[in-house]
Amino acid sequence: MALADALREQGARVSFIGTGRGLERELVPEAGYELDLADLRGLERRFSPRIFLFLWSLLKGSADCLRILRRRRPQAVAGGGGYVSAVPLFWAALRRTPTLIVELDSHMGLANRSLTPLVNRVALAFPIEGLEGDKYLQTGRPMGQQLLGATAERGRELFGLREDLKTVLVTGGSLGARSLNMACVEAFSRGGMPFQVLHVSGRRDYEMVRRRLKQEDGDHGNYHLLDYTNDLPQAVAAADLVVSRSGASVLEIAALGKPSILVPYPHATGDHQRKNAEWMAAAGAAELIDDSRLDARLLADRVSELLADDERLRRMAESSGGLARRDGAARIAGEIYAIAGR
C-alpha cells in the first residue's frame, strides 16, 4: 500500500492483483485502488490432497492473470514476494513487461528466488549476502504516511494511555504469537507495575488471553488488551519499549526509533526472523530472547531492567532510528518509473 501511494503521488495509475481471501478485499478498495481477483494458492510443502488445489490454481490462476494483464496493459508490474505475486510476475516477464520484486526479509523467499532470474530489478529491505550488482537495490522497506506520521501523543490518545507512565507494547502480528501472549499475560496481569502494557494479542489468542487476565486478582487498569488494530504504527509511536516477533516489521520499529525486545519465530523460513533480530541487536537497537527460553519471569525481568535504565533506552532508541530508511517507497517507485522508461 505504501508503494502504491508513492506511485500514485508520481502520477501512476495503480491496481492490485489478489485472491480475495485476505485483507486485500477490504483494504485495497478502501484506499481507492482497483482490485483484480485471481485464483492463486500457495505451494503445499508436503504431500496432501491440497497439492491438487495448488496445481489447479496454477492453471486457473495463470489464465486469470493473463486475462488481467491483457486488459490492464501495464507499463510495469511489481510484486511483494508472496505466492500471489509469483504467477502474474512470471507471465509479465515472459510478455517482456518491465518487472520488479520487493524482498521484505533478510532471507529471500521461494517466490522471489524463483523470479529473480526473470525480473529487471530486485529491491531489498535488508542487506543480503551475495545479492549485489546492477539488478539489486537496497531500498529499505516501503513505508506509508500512516507509519511515518505516527506520534506518541496521538498514540496515547487513541489507546487511552496515561502520559505519566512508560508504555510497553507487546505484539505478535495479526494472528498473534502464542508463547509471547502467554508470557505477557502471566508476567503483567497481576498489576502493581510502575508502567502500562498495551497488548495486541492477535485474534486467534484473544479470548484465551482475556480469560487468563480475568482470572487474575489485581488492578488491570494499566493492562490494555486488544485483539487487533489497524493503528499499530500509533501504538509503536506511543511505546517506550516494544516486545515483538522479528519479521519485516522490525524496520517499522526502527523507522519510529523505538528500542525493542525481539523474540524470533523459531520456524520462520530460512530462520529469517533470527537474522532480522540479530541485525537489530548487533546495532544496539534491540535485545534478543530465544522463543525456547521465553517465560513470564524472564520477560518481566528484561522489561523492568530496561525501563529502569533511561540512558540505555535512549541509546537503543538512537541506534534503532539510525537503522531506518524512511524513503523506501519513494525509492522503489522511482526505480519502477526507470525500468518502465518514463
By C-alpha distance, which of 323, 325, 311, 246 is closest to 285?
Answer: 323
Locus of grid cell 508513492 = 6
Q: Angle at Cα 158 formed by Cα 152 and Cα 164, nearest 5°?
A: 55
pLDDT mean over 38-42:
88
Confidence category of residue 248, pLDDT binned at 50, 70, 90: confident
Range of the domain at 91: 2-143+326-339
273 plus 250 within the same structural domain: yes
pTM of the model: 0.85
Q: Measured between alpha carbons, how far is residue 227 from residues 152, 172, 273 in Å?
A: 21, 11, 23
Backbone angles phi, psi at 87, to 5 degrees: -70, -50
Same domain, yes or no: 154 and 276 = yes
Comparing 119-128, 172-181, 305-314, the range with the smallest average pLDDT is: 172-181
Residue 28 is part of a domain; what is its CATH number? 3.40.50.2000
105 plus 12 within the same structural domain: yes
Classify burial at 83, counting beta carbons within 10 Å of its beta carbon; exposed 0-12, middle 13-18, buried 19 or more: middle
- Structure-block grid coordinates of residue 68: 488481467
H helix intervals, 189-285:
206-215, 232-238, 250-255, 272-282
Q: How many domains, in total, are found in the chain?
A: 2
Asked whether residue 118 falls in the same domain as residue 168, the answer is no
**In this structure, are 194 and 105 located in the same domain?**
no
Q: Are residues 303 and 259 in the same domain?
A: yes
**Same structural domain, 111 and 135:** yes
> Does one domain contain both 18 and 74?
yes
Are 317 and 330 contained in the same domain?
no
Whether residues 107 and 167 fall in one domain: no
Do 119 and 163 sit in the same domain of this protein? no
Residues 122 and 207 in one domain: no
**Helix (H) / strand (E) containing 263:** none
Tens-place pLDDT, residues 141-167:
999 999 999 999 999 999 999 999 999
